[in-house]
A and B are shown apart, each in its own frame.
Chain A
Amino acid sequence: MQFLDEDVHLMLRYRDGDPGAFISLYSRHKGPLYRYLLRHVRNAGAAADLFQEVWSRLIATRARYEPRAKFATFLFHIAHNCAMDFFRSNANARHSLHGNEADAHLNEAEAPEHLRPDRIAEFAEQRSALLAAMDALPREQREAFLLHEETGLTLEEIARVTDVPVETAKSRLRYAVRKLKNSLQTVTEAQSLTLRARTI
C-alpha cells in the first residue's frame, strides 16, 4: 500500500512488542510534534502537557493500531484532537482574549495589528515578525501552516488530520501563507527604509 511508509512499519513493530522501534519513531517526530503544539496553543506548559497526552494515547492504544494512512497523519490527528480538547476546555478564556478575532482575520481587507505602521518598529527582526504574524493568525489557519511546515503533509492529509474538506484546508493554508508573506514583506520594506534613512 502506498501509505505504508517506514514510520508505519516502525509503529507496527512497536505494536508487536519492539520498544526500539518506538525510540526511532519518537526521535523522528518529537521535534515537529512539540513545535506544532507549542506554536498552535501558544503556551509552553500546555504544550508540554499535550505532548505527553499525545504520546500517552499512542502508547496506550498501540495494540489496536492498524495502518490506514501515513504515520504522521495518524500521530497529528491525535495531536489535533488533543489540541481541540484543550481549546474547548479553555473556551471561555480564549473568547475573552480573542473574541471574534478569527472571523475578523478572514476579512482580507483588515490589516492585522502587527502590520500597522506603529507596530512595525517592534518587529525589527524578520523572525520575530514571522512568529508575531503566526500568533495573529486564526487558530485554524495557523494549524494548517504548522502541519505543512512541520510534517510536509499534503492538503489532502491536512484535511484528514483536521477533519475538514480539502477545499477548507486549502483555503486556510492560502490565507495563512498570504498573511505571513505579507508580514515578512512589510518588515523587509521597513528594514530597507531604515537602512536607507541611515545612509542619507
Chain B
Amino acid sequence: MDSGDELDEYLHGDSALSRQYRGETALEPPHALDRAILRAARGTTVKSPCLAPLAFAASVLLSVAMVAAVILAPASTMRGSDTPRVTRVRLYSESADTRRPSEWLADIAALRRAGRLREAAVEMQRFHSVYPHYIVPSDD
C-alpha cells in the first residue's frame, strides 16, 4: 500500500492499530497525584493554615542564618579553611540541581526521618527555588 494511503487510512480513524493501542491504554495517574494537583488548583498548597505564618517565619530565619553564615564565616575562621568550605557548598548545590523532583523529595523525607530537620528545611527551600511551580504532596 502507498504510504500516503496508509497514513490517510490511519488518520481517518478506527484503524486496527488504533484499536490495538486503545485496548492497552487504561493507565491513569496515581490518586496521590490527583489529590495534590486538585489541591493546588484550589490554591490550598499549604498543609495547614494555622502553620503557615510559623513556616514563613522559620524560612525567613533560616535564610538569614544561611546568609549570615556565608558572610561571617571567612572572618571568623582560619584562612586555610576558607576554600574547602566554599567549594563544598558549590558542589552540593550543583548535585542537588540535577536531581529529579521525586528523588529530591525522597532525600528530604529521609533527612526528616533521620531527625535532621534543619537540613531538611534548607533542602526544601532549595527545592522550591529550583522547582518553583512543583506541587509538593502533603504527608497526609
Contact = CB atoms under 8 A, between A and B. Distances in A.
Interface string B1-45: 001101100110000111011111101111001101110111100
- At the interface, is chain A mostly helix, strand, loop or mixed? helix
Interface residues of B, number: 38
B29 A48 contact: yes
A26 B3 CA distance: 36
A194 interface: no
A35 B24 CA distance: 10
Contact of B24 (A23, A131, A155, A174): A131
Interface stretch (B54-62, B97-105, B110-118): B97-105
Interface string A156-200: 000000000000001001100110110010000000000000000
Interface of A: 14, 19, 22-23, 26, 30-31, 34-35, 38, 45-46, 48-49, 51-53, 55-57, 59-60, 89, 126-127, 130-131, 148-150, 155, 170, 173-174, 177-178, 180-181, 184
Contacts of A180: 17
- Tell me whether chain B's interface is mostly helix, strand or loop, or mixed: helix
Of the listed residues A31, A52, A127, A130, the one surrounded by the most CB atoms of chain B closer than 10 A to its CB is A52
Contacts of A148: 11
